[in-house]
C-alpha cells in the first residue's frame, strides 16, 4: 500500500505510530487499563495480535502482553534508533509498527510486548452459550427457536448416534441412534436456559416415545443434550415441573443426556421452513 493509501486508512495518530514508528504518550492510550476479555487486533489490517488472557499490568503506561496470539501474528526486528538497542514489534500480516519487546515480562515467557493502544483494535468476546434439543423433525423446532430474542444462531443436525459424520439418509434408516436436533447459540444475558426449556416443551409432545406425530423412529425422539451440570440440573427440574403440572396425563419420555459431538445436517435442511416460506411443518 502507498503512503497516501495508509493516510486514508488510518487516523493521523495511528499513521504516526503504525507507519512512522512513533510512540503514544505513556498512560494516554485507551487500552492501558482495559481488562475486558477478547482479542486485540491490528488497527490497520485486523490481524489477531494478542489475547486478553496474556495481558498484564506492567505499570509502564502501555498495554503489555507476554505472548502473541499465535505463531507469526507479530514479527520482531532489531531497532537501533534513538541510540538504543531495542526489538521492534510489527504486525505479522501488514508490517505496521506496534511497539517494542522487552525481556522483563512475567512468567511463563518472561517477555513484555509493549504495544501502543492506538495500533490496536479490541474485539470484545461475546459470552455466548449453547444448547441442543431434539423434538422431532428439526425443521419445525429450528423455526420456533430462531424467533426467540437472545438466540443468535441455530443449526440443525444430528447427535447421540453410534458413528461419526452421519448423513440424512443414514439417520433415516433408524438404525444409527442419532437424533435430529437443533443446536442453539444464545446470549444468556438476553434469554435464559430455563426460557429455552419452556419453549422446548411447547414445540413438541414430550410424551410420544421415539416419534412426533407422523414421524416415527429413534431419530425423532424427545431429547435434551446438556453441556454442563447446571444445564442438566435445570433440565431435570423443568421436566419435573412439567410432570407435576399435569399438562399431560401420560408420562414424559424426554431423554436428558450429556451432549455428544454435533454433526451439522446437509445445507438444504438448514432454515428449511424459512427457505420454503412455511410457518410450520406437518408434525405440528
Q: Which residues are catalytic?
A: 114, 137
- Cβ closer to Zn ion: 6 or 227? 6
In angstroms, the CA 249 to CA 207 distance is 9
CB within 8 A of 224, min separation 6: which ones? Answer: 132, 133, 134, 197, 200, 235, 254, 255, 256, 257
- SS3 of the chain: helix, strand, coil, percent, to 5: 25, 30, 45
Q: Least distance (Å) from Zn ion to the CB of residue 189?
A: 32
Shortest distance, CB of residue 90 to Zn ion, whole angstroms?
Answer: 8
Of residues 12 and 244, the one with the C-beta less far from Zn ion: 12
Q: How many CB atoms lie within 10 A of CB 184?
A: 27
Residue placing its CB nearer to Zn ion in the complex, 47 or 117? 47
**Least separation, in Å, of the C-beta of 31 and Zn ion?**
16
Q: How far apart are alpha carbons 132 and 182 in whole angstroms? A: 6
**What Cα–Cα distance (Å) separates residue 190 from each residue in 39, 176, 180, 184, 186?**
23, 36, 26, 14, 8
User: CB–CB of 280/273 below 8 Å?
Assistant: yes
Q: Report the run of H or E that residue 217 belongs to, with start and end.
A: none
* Three cell numbers, residue 265: 445436517
Euclidean distance between CA atoms 267 and 29, whole angstroms: 45
Residues making contact with Zn ion (CB under 5 A): 42, 44-45, 47, 91, 93-94, 96
Q: How far apart are CA 14 and CA 94, in angstroms?
A: 14
Judged by beta carbon, residue 19 or residue 204, the one nearer Zn ion is 19
Residue 281 assigned to a binding site: no
C-alpha–C-alpha distance, residues 79 and 128, integer Å: 42
Do 238 and 201 meet the contact criterion of CB atoms below 8 Å apart?
yes
- Tell me the three cell numbers of residue 69: 496470539
Distance of closest approach, residue 73 Cβ to Zn ion, in angstroms: 9
**Is residue 172 annotated as involved in ligand binding?**
no
- Closest CB to Zn ion among residues 49, 224: 49
How open is the CA angle 280-283-284, to the nearest 5 degrees?
A: 55
Least distance to Zn ion from the beta carbon of 66, Å?
20
Provide the annotated binding site for Zn(2+).
42, 45, 91, 94
Amino acid at each position: 500500500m502507498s503512503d497516501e493509501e495508509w493516510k486514508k486508512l488510518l487516523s493521523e495518530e495511528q499513521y504516526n505510530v503504525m507507519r512512522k514508528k512513533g510512540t503514544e504518550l505513556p498512560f494516554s492510550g485507551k487500552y492501558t487499563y482495559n481488562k475486558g476479555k477478547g482479542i486485540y487486533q491490528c488497527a490497520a489490517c485486523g490481524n489477531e495480535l494478542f489475547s486478553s488472557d496474556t495481558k498484564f499490568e506492567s505499570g509502564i503506561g502501555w498495554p503489555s502482553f507476554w505472548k502473541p496470539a499465535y505463531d507469526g501474528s507479530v514479527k520482531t526486528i532489531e531497532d537501533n534508533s534513538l541510540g538504543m538497542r531495542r526489538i521492534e514489534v510489527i504486525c505479522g500480516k501488514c508490517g505496521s509498527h506496534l511497539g517494542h519487546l522487552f525481556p522483563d515480562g512475567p512468567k511463563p515467557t518472561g517477555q513484555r510486548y509493549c504495544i501502543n493502544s492506538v495500533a490496536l483494535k479490541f474485539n470484545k468476546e461475546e459470552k455466548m452459550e449453547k444448547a441442543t434439543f431434539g423434538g422431532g423433525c428439526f425443521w419445525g423446532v429450528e423455526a420456533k427457536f430462531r424467533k426467540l430474542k437472545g438466540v443468535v444462531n441455530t443449526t440443525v443436525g444430528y447427535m447421540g448416534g453410534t458413528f461419526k459424520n452421519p448423513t440424512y439418509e443414514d439417520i433415516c434408516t433408524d438404525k444409527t441412534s442419532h437424533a435430529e436436533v437443533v443446536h442453539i447459540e444464545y446470549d444468556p444475558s438476553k434469554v435464559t436456559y430455563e426460557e429455552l426449556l419452556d419453549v422446548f416443551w411447547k414445540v413438541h409432545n414430550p410424551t410420544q416415545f421415539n416419534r412426533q406425530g407422523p414421524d416415527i423412529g429413534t431419530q425423532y425422539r424427545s431429547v435434551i443434550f446438556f453441556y454442563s451440570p447446571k444445564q442438566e440440573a435445570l433440565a431435570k427440574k423443568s421436566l419435573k415441573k412439567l410432570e407435576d403440572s399435569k399438562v399431560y396425563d401420560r408420562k414424559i419420555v424426554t431423554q436428558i443426556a450429556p451432549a455428544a459431538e454435533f454433526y451439522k445436517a446437509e445445507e438444504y435442511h438448514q432454515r428449511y421452513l424459512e427457505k420454503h416460506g412455511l410457518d410450520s411443518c406437518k408434525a405440528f
